A = this chain, B = another copy of it.
Amino acid sequence: MTGEEKDFFQKHYPDEFSHCYGCGTNNEHGHQLKSYWEGEEAVAVYRPAPEHTSLPGFVYGGLIASLVDCHGTGTAAAAAYRAAGRPMGTEPILRFVTASLHVDFLKPTPMGVPLVLRGKATEVKERKVVVEMTVSAGDAVCARGTVVAVLMPEAMRREVAEAGG
Contacts and interface: CB of A to CB of B under 8 A. Distances in A.
A57 interface: yes
Given A56-B165, A104-B100, A30 B51 contact: yes
Interface stretch (A4-12, A18-26, A74-82, A128-136): A18-26
A68 to B, nearest CB: 8
Contacts of A97: 54, 61, 105, 108
B105 A103 contact: no
- Interface of chain A, helix or strand or loop or mixed? mixed
Contacts of A17: 55
Given A51-B29, A63-B66, A69-B62, A163 B57 contact: yes
